[in-house]
A and B are shown apart, each in its own frame.
Chain A
């Protein structure tokens, strides 16, 4: 299949702050990137670093505080309600928890048909056509047709997540935010779903923003990887490059913490001090400085800037910029 490598999504200086009693929570703080058509951008980071908030802000499920989002050249944030609804056909999301994201009182067919009815692709009277389309999508995601009238509680996690994927695909979208789609699943089921998502991407030419905390999964699915820490992007690079030559100390520590399933490969763990600090009123300076083994005074005294160290390899770290890595 001919790959169209044109840019499909552009995010500029996206910010999402939440007002909390203690001040301003900087959930997503000045993130910019682009994704090309048919590619996967993986987003990794620890819980609470703002990965999911970012995914939702792009779809305006959280209204961004500031920034710009362009989808196929269209300014997403300036759209009115009607225009946004129209656009949602092309931009969909798969949620993390297949147990919580399905309506327990809707059957499989109702759940998959819902987006078709909401978007008025079919009217409620076109029962035969709706059923035909539902069956088509069920086949696509590998759900047996006999399950068409079952309820979510009758199904296991893997099948439920297939419904979540089916719902996202019902409208033939071009771009899907996948918010930890496999983290609630067992490894053998996780492998089935990851294979399915790769097949669908090839078949339908989908573009994914794949959010996960699992580094081996992200390496497997992504073309490019964006590493987040406390709302900020600390590094972005092509997948192979990032794993071969991580530059930011946080990325290095993160990669070194992955337990390798081979007894002959002992790990060289870089142990970080402490845990994620608070994203409320973070102040200036590198947010990782408190845990960074290489931090100097200047790291907490100036704003970090993103620099392109090698073609396609972006990083925000003074040490890298001084040329010490």
Chain B
């Protein structure tokens, strides 16, 4: 197994709002190895984006606050870094692709200049001309003709804009790429092109990736490991095969049952009843208990721990307690 790149320990993040304290992330634990892809799967409001922004230390404060935990990146705790040190890391070592390419680009700056901005920020020794050359190379790398350097974002289609965003994220050869729903806003054929490209570039530069998505298919085709997140907690974590072939947590099971399958002809989906709990009033016990068909009395009263099984597959559920 390759070296550990990122180790998130007991990370908790809250948002203080008028309606009370939103417990967006509750003692999340996550490991990412060098060059590996980890898929983080969950539904709206599960805390996926909060976790990603937490790693980048981009939680708006106020109302957000990291209340607990450590984010160990290459042996250093990111939460203890000074703002200036963190700024040097962002974009160079750790970069992020945001969900919506339509809103994450600056509309009054040319696409090329937005790529060059990152390059020059992290390598102030370069001249503007050298920066432009590098930015043009990046454009070519993501499959856009360098002659479009001087075009503005509105002159590109959705898929092309996302390519520009990817070029910006990869411009400094980061060791960790956080991709927050990079293809959700794109059509399926364009999604396939973009994912293929991310995959190739990742292989070439041995970049590790945290891929955030709600699409189990995208994860299956692009990741080595999977973490399932529910109501701010990691409920299941393991290799792709462990999680997809040996589902442990009832929520993961429900998630898979909700996706219409292409090769069966059943006329009903195994939907999970109910909804995710309100993050301002999380239940005392297991967060999934009131939607779970296996829930017992203790599930409502006590919070299950994340249990690691012999093969490294982790799950947060009392049903697997005896095995240890």
Contacts and interface: CB of A to CB of B under 8 A. Distances in A.
B220 A259 contact: yes
A262 interface: yes
A260 B275 CA distance: 25
A114 interface: no
Given A189-B275, A263-B241, A275-B157, A257 B260 contact: no
B192 A257 contact: yes
Q: Which of B159, B160, B244, B275 has the most CB of A within 10 A?
A: B275
B188 A213 contact: yes
Contact of B190 (A192, A264, A275): A275
Contacts of A220: 260-261, 269
Interface string A22-55: 0000000000000000000000001100000000
A107 interface: no
Nearest to B257: A191
A99 interface: no
Interface size class of B (residues with CB under 8 A): 35 or more
B44 to A, nearest CB: 5
Interface in B232-264: 240-241, 244-245, 254-262
B267 to A, nearest CB: 6
Contact of B244 (A158, A254, A261): A261
B292 interface: no
A320 interface: no
B267 A259 contact: no
B188 A46 contact: yes
Contacts of A264: 245
Q: Which of B188, B193, B217 has the most CB of A within 10 A?
A: B188
A243 interface: yes
Contacts of B257: 191
Contact of A195 (B190, B268, B275): B268
Contacts of A267: 221
Contacts of A46: 187-190
Interface string A240-251: 100100000000
Interface string A44-88: 001100000000000000000000000000000000000000000
B229 to A, nearest CB: 13
B260 A259 contact: no
B245 to A, nearest CB: 8
Contacts of B221: 259-260, 266-267
B261 to A, nearest CB: 7
Interface in A168-216: 186-192, 194-195, 198, 213, 215-216
B218 interface: yes
Interface in A129-170: 156-158
A269 interface: yes
Contacts of A186: 43-44, 214
Nearest to B190: A275
A188 B189 contact: no
B51 to A, nearest CB: 17
A263 B240 contact: yes
B271 A269 contact: no
Contacts of A272: 189, 193
A46 B188 CA distance: 8
B157 A195 contact: no
Q: Which of B157, B215, B222, B269 has the most CB of A within 10 A?
A: B269
A188 B270 contact: no
Nearest to A218: B260
Interface in A264-287: 264, 266-267, 269, 271-272, 275-276
B18 interface: no
Given A258-B217, A260-B217, A188 B254 contact: yes
B30 interface: no
Contacts of B240: 263
A272 B189 CA distance: 7
A290 interface: no
A-B pairs with lowest CB-CB distance, top 3: A259-B217, A220-B260, A191-B271
29 contacts: A46-B188, A157-B44, A186-B43, A186-B214, A187-B214, A191-B259, A191-B260, A191-B269, A191-B270, A194-B260, A194-B271, A216-B261, A216-B262, A220-B260, A220-B261, A220-B269, A254-B189, A259-B192, A259-B195, A259-B215, A260-B217, A260-B262, A261-B216, A261-B217, A262-B220, A263-B241, A263-B244, A263-B245, A271-B193
Given A186-B44, A259-B191, 12 more contacts: A158-B275, A187-B255, A188-B43, A191-B260, A213-B188, A215-B188, A216-B261, A259-B222, A260-B220, A261-B219, A261-B259, A262-B220
Interface of A: 46-47, 156-158, 186-192, 194-195, 198, 213, 215-217, 219-220, 240, 243, 253-254, 256-264, 266-267, 269, 271-272, 275-276
